[in-house]
Structure 1
Amino acid sequence: MKKFLDFWAMNSKKIYLVLLALALIFPWVFNKPYIMNVAVLCFLYTTLSLSLNLVTGYMGQLSLGHAAFYGVGAYAGAICATRLGCDFLLTIVISAGVAALVGLILSLPILRLKGRYLAIVTLAFCEITRLVELNWVEVTGGPMGISSIPAPHILGFTLKSTRSKYYLIVAITLVTIFIVHSLMNSRTGRSISAIKGDEIAASAMGINVFKYKVICFTIASALAGVAGAFYATYMRYVDPTSFAFDQSVQILGMTILGGLGSIPGSVIGAFVLTAIPEMLRGLMEFRQVIYGLILAIMVVFKPSGLLGNINFKHIRQRILFARENAKKGGGDRGPAES
Structure 2
Amino acid sequence: MAFLDGLLPAYYESIIITVGIYIILALGLNLITGVTGQLSLGHAAYLCIGAYTSAIVTMKFGLPFIVALLCAGVVSALFGVLIGFPVLRLTGDYLAICTLGFGEILKSVLFNMPYVGGAMGMAGIPPKTTLLNTVIIALLVIIVMIRMERSRFGRSLVAIREDEIASECMGIDAFKYKLQMFAIGTFTAGLGGALWAHKIMVLQPRDFGFMKSIEILNMVVLGGLGSIPGTILGATLLTAIPEILRFSSEYRMIIYGALLVIMMIFRPHGLMGNMNFNTLVKRTFKRFNAGADKEQKNKKSGMEG
Q: Where does residue 145 of structure 1 map in the other structure?
A: 121
Which of 197, 219, 241 lines up with 1:232 in the alignment?
197
Q: Where does residue 104 of structure 1 map in the other structure?
A: 81
Matches within 5 A, 1:181-260: 181-260=146-225
Relative distance call for 1:93 and 1:25 in structure 2 (3 A) is closer
Counterparts of 2:248 and 2:103 in 1: how far apart (Å)? 30
Relative distance call for 1:316 and 1:240 in structure 2 (3 A) is closer
Q: Where does residue 175 of structure 1 map in the other structure?
A: 140
- How far 1:201 sits from its partner (Å)? 1.1
Counterparts of 1:78 and 1:66 in 2: how far apart (Å)? 19
Counterparts of 2:143 and 2:277 in 1: how far apart (Å)? 17
Q: Where does residue 40 of structure 1 map in the other structure?
A: 17
Q: How many pairs were matched up?
A: 284
- How far 1:111 sits from its partner (Å)? 0.9
Which stretch has the larger CA shift, 175-184 or 53-62?
Answer: 175-184
Q: Where does residue 44 of structure 2 map in the other structure?
A: 67
One-letter code aligned to 1:76: T
Relative distance call for 1:39 and 1:280 in structure 2 (3 A) is same
Matches within 5 A, 1:111-126: 111-126=88-103
Counterparts of 2:113 and 2:144 in 1: how far apart (Å)? 33
Counterparts of 1:231 and 1:314 in 2: how far apart (Å)? 32
One-letter code aligned to 2:267: K
For structure 2, the residue ranges without an aligned partner over 5 or more in a row are 290-305
Counterparts of 2:77 and 2:14 in 1: how far apart (Å)? 28
- How far 1:316 sits from its partner (Å)? 6.7
Q: Where does residue 134 of structure 1 map in the other structure?
A: 111
Which stretch has the larger CA shift, 288-297 or 169-178?
Answer: 288-297
| Alignment RMSD | 2.1
Which stretch has the larger CA shift, 297-306 or 64-73?
Answer: 297-306
Relative distance call for 1:193 and 1:84 in structure 2 (3 A) is same
Counterparts of 1:232 and 1:317 in 2: how far apart (Å)? 39
- How far 1:314 sits from its partner (Å)? 5.2
Counterparts of 2:259 and 2:33 in 1: how far apart (Å)? 20
For structure 1, the residue ranges without an aligned partner over 5 or more in a row are 1-23, 153-158, 160-164, 324-338
Matched, 1:297 2:262: yes
- How far 1:303 sits from its partner (Å)? 2.6
SS of 2:60 mapped into structure 1: helix
Matches within 5 A, 1:50-65: 50-65=27-42
- How far 1:281 sits from its partner (Å)? 2.0
Which stretch has the larger CA shift, 112-121 or 56-65?
Answer: 112-121
Q: Where does residue 248 of structure 2 map in the other structure?
A: 283
Counterparts of 1:133 and 1:271 in 2: how far apart (Å)? 30
The TM-score, its normalising length taken from structure 2, stands at 0.87
Counterparts of 2:265 and 2:172 in 1: how far apart (Å)? 34
Counterparts of 1:253 and 1:285 in 2: how far apart (Å)? 22
Counterparts of 1:85 and 1:189 in 2: how far apart (Å)? 38
- How far 1:313 sits from its partner (Å)? 3.0
Are 2:41 and 2:96, in contact at CA under 8 Å, matched by a contact in 1? yes
SS of 2:13 mapped into structure 1: helix
SS of 1:280 mapped into structure 2: helix
Q: Deviations over 1:82-110 (max 9, x none)?
A: 00011111111111111000000110111
Counterparts of 2:5 and 2:268 in 1: how far apart (Å)? 32
Q: Deviations over 1:100-156 (max 9, x none)?
A: 000001101111111111111111111111111111122x2111111111233xxxx
Counterparts of 2:228 and 2:276 in 1: how far apart (Å)? 11
Counterparts of 2:5 and 2:202 in 1: how far apart (Å)? 26
Give % identity: 43
Relative distance call for 1:317 and 1:294 in structure 2 (3 A) is closer
- How far 1:311 sits from its partner (Å)? 4.2
Counterparts of 1:316 and 1:298 in 2: how far apart (Å)? 23
Matches within 5 A, 1:12-27: none
Counterparts of 2:175 and 2:268 in 1: how far apart (Å)? 27
Relative distance call for 1:311 and 1:134 in structure 2 (3 A) is same
One-letter code aligned to 1:79: I
Are 2:228 and 2:277, in contact at CA under 8 Å, matched by a contact in 1? no
